[in-house]
Structure 1
């Protein structure tokens, strides 16, 4: 079974595809269910948190309302008013009233103490004995905490932290002891200077109430906190707020919604944070839950889903095998019909491919064979067709009328023996160079495209058949319709074909059009005329449209008679090496050649080529530096060109190289003479009687010629270069202090001191004396620097 499975690669693909599909469906379904359940759990948890926080908000608001009502009741109580505004106290009366206040505090589960401040006596009266005794500075600490509020808010919960005295370390965080509600009269300048009733609520009562609600709502560990305006966190456990990151506190402070829920942190520190306004001051109540504990039920569900997915995957794999075999049977039958037993022959013939690849290869092979047969048949038919067209073009004189009519019938052409007929030759320009660049069947593509494009453009004005003669030459046999346009209009169609071929294929083509002949017997004459006319591309250049009328002007006997004399002038100027005259004579030769027939032009160019080769060989035999021209290839290079412009460019390039060699030789001679003059100047510059004429006499040449030659070779005049050499030598002599300036002047070849000083200052910007002084100072500074 498994051996057969190894040979059935397409069956393996079916099995693998179905298995991957089943796995993909299960994974996507499981992921979707997991995300859906997680979203549902988080939504349910958020709603539960909102209810819990709403209950806490209600409890705190209820406590706040009770505390405010009691504070208002006591503030206007007749027993308390004397304590607030009395200017003197009867301590017996105060004790009784304080006893009543103690009873009120003892009867309440949430009250911490009641404190009265009398502004007239600047005394505090409190039911809280440590505060009343003020042994550890409780009053000062209390007033300091109230001073944090610029204007004490009336009947607003103010957190108070009370130090316990001896057991409290400096800098240690102190939990909230109670919340104060302060009530005072509106009269007066500042709240601090007024009599006040202070109702203190136990902080533990508030936090215990919040914790009880929290314990009833959640089984897992979570934290409920109060967030004040300034970012301070309060909780029953004073250490609960220490683990809250500053980034989370900042996020909580910026939240302005009625209810907000979000996740914060990563990994094991990830938490679900829920917050809601407390309803008292601008405080907020915050609930922080562990994300992992909150989603712990989801983890159990995830395990169950994983087990279920594995079960269904195994069940799917059990069902996939029979389904795959059923899907594979049609393919197996097809392979068996094509090649025999798939279990044996397929394993040998398609070891690296599956069954469909094998069937596809068989089908492709059959299609290719059919296509090759079609192409072979089409090519044979095309060759036979072109053979008959070639035969008509080259031997129409031996064709009978019945034979021509049968030829026309076989090709479904609209031709009559009476004609008229016209032959057009189309030549691809630069075909030899382009053929080298063509790849594969690119040439066949161009032949097909050019022939059919031209035939389609001619279809509107005449009937035509065409054939390809090879080497980029097409022949079109054109037969105008009985009522169709004249020869000029289908000549326009050929011109349009030139433009289209150039635009779409980047091919330049030249056309020639024969004169019309009245009978099919004269088709060969028209063909030979078109072939002869296309040769005049040599004179008219690329993209020309050549007709017999245009060629008729190339019969100028005077130009033909002038050619030998012009050729002689070219050879003479070539030997002289005169650039301008040689170029002009070549241009004139080709202007005269344009007036010749094609055969005369070819003869003239070949004769010029041979004369040029002979002249250069004669010059090279007697010259020390031969003219660098490849004479062996010159004749072939000229004959390979297709237009007169290309041939003329060869001779102009030859002239340029001839002149360049002459100029190069002249330049070398100039360099040699200038080098000799420089050597003479260096040797005789100290002679006061040495001038340009002296050097000219030594070299046996005129002074003017020597000066012109030296200027041409160096860019400096003889006198300028002589002065440069003399002044450079003066600079060297001035560096030594054992020779006077006059002696320096004489050794450098100068007679006049003023002339010497003038030239020295122009070149170096200073006088010889100043230069020597500066050099002496530099030497002294250098010596001092070395000693120091």
Structure 2
């Protein structure tokens, strides 16, 4: 009852539960009925195909049987022993005996023959072979005679005709096949042979095939044009004429609707729903029917439907349980929200819960809380405004005014105790500002302000406010009896704040602390001092907590630049490519930077970067090849890095790159000399006076020095190189020009033919004439 009362009191929960439950019930029932409907359609379609296959097989059997009988009838009708029996007016006894023997042998050789009859129109007599025909006193003979000679029914020849020889209830026990000497319907004025085929040959084999292939057994019937039904067994339920008329009407209506010779129709047969599959004209003017009980046919479907409903019922019970559980899970956050909002109401205030559901109650609570929040937010904005005013424009207020405002707005600042201002600055602020969107910046500022105030307030009275977006200010009040050691307790709290912000927001904070402030009017001075101390992150690195004592010497240092000797030695070391000496001078410079006042550090570091840049520019002006780095980037390093350590590492890497990028000057000079010499040879190879001495004179070097330099570098003498160039040009002229050998010799700088021939043969293995002849032949 308690659970029902809880459910009854929750209108929104009722809606959620009823919606989920109704959806599950609809889905389950729809799924169950859809499955059984589709299954029933599938079974009917499969059964229709199966039945049509059976009837098609039956049609094929009739056609096959008709073909066999046609061949048999042809030979029988032409049999010389049977011709006298058909046409003679008087039949000798021996001919009669021979004819009967012939008919017996035909019957024995054909297992599918039921009997055989010969009609002699001259004698108006019928001769048969079966025992009933001969021994029943003429009953069978009369039945055959009446059927054959019935003037109201003209029998087609060479066609299978269903007949009843022994039954009176419409059962078919044979198929008659009338054979005459013409293709016209049989008449009394002509002789004929009638072959009777066993009906079991068709009906029983088809019934066995159907019983094997399907458990939905039915009855195979044959209907004539008037709708009378025949079967190889007792008609049973189909014996009544009204039932036969109903079946006939079903088939005729379906034929008219579909204009197809075969198909299936569902209707009531003798009060029972049945499926009737039919195929018209397997035998001319006859229809084959296959009648099945619809209930028996759909027994498995009905069983499946019952099982499906049972399963749906079980699933419905499970769905009810899941619905209750899921509804409560979905409702649980709303219930929690109601509990959280409800306590905000005064105890004497009654909510109008009967006027709506839980969402209505929450909306009323929300409106009330929103109004209250607006009032609190306005008060919060005013409080933060005055705190910022105390820090930035403290001189505007008197001590009395500040105390009055603190009391009026309930600021968590204690007086007359000392106060310390803490500035928490974001490290890597330039990168943070350029990669973080505005909404995330506001969230981080709000989080840092509240987390820092909450953690510090556990030990000291504290107010926090965010200023300019890059730093948060804490105003921490000390106890009246605070000692220096108690002052030191703030540092672990600040470290904990730094760790918390780094853990949850992946942000790094540095902190600057002011000296204790005795007067509230000095808060702005304390803020300036704390902010100034926080800037010394450039020396102490990220996540540092900096007090005035730590930067006392920096603030007192009047030096604004490093000695010029350090800059000069650094420049000379870079020009000489001496990385060790350059590193020593760079380390000296940064050791001095760490003692400078904050405002002088960046200026001094920037000056040093310009010194390095000017040195690089000078080096590059005196080099043939340029260095592989961007010179304009050098003086930007101090602006992009925030600490001396980062700047030192960047400049040290730059100096290393400068030293490694330089080659020894003599190596570079030698390369330039060799390139000049080679260029001279390529330009003046045709000059007869070109030699090592003339080239050495041109480049202002001694012949011996130039020869040694060329030999060491190219692994061949200068004269050999000159000859090599001249002979290559001679080779080209021999191959492509019509000049004589002497002209070629002169064009290539040779004056002595024998000397030219000797050099050419030594290089190419043949004289110039032989070389030209070989090339022309090839």
**Coarse TM-score class (shorter-chain normalised):** 0.3 to 0.5
* TM-score normalised by structure 1 residue count: 0.44
* TM-score normalised by structure 2 residue count: 0.45
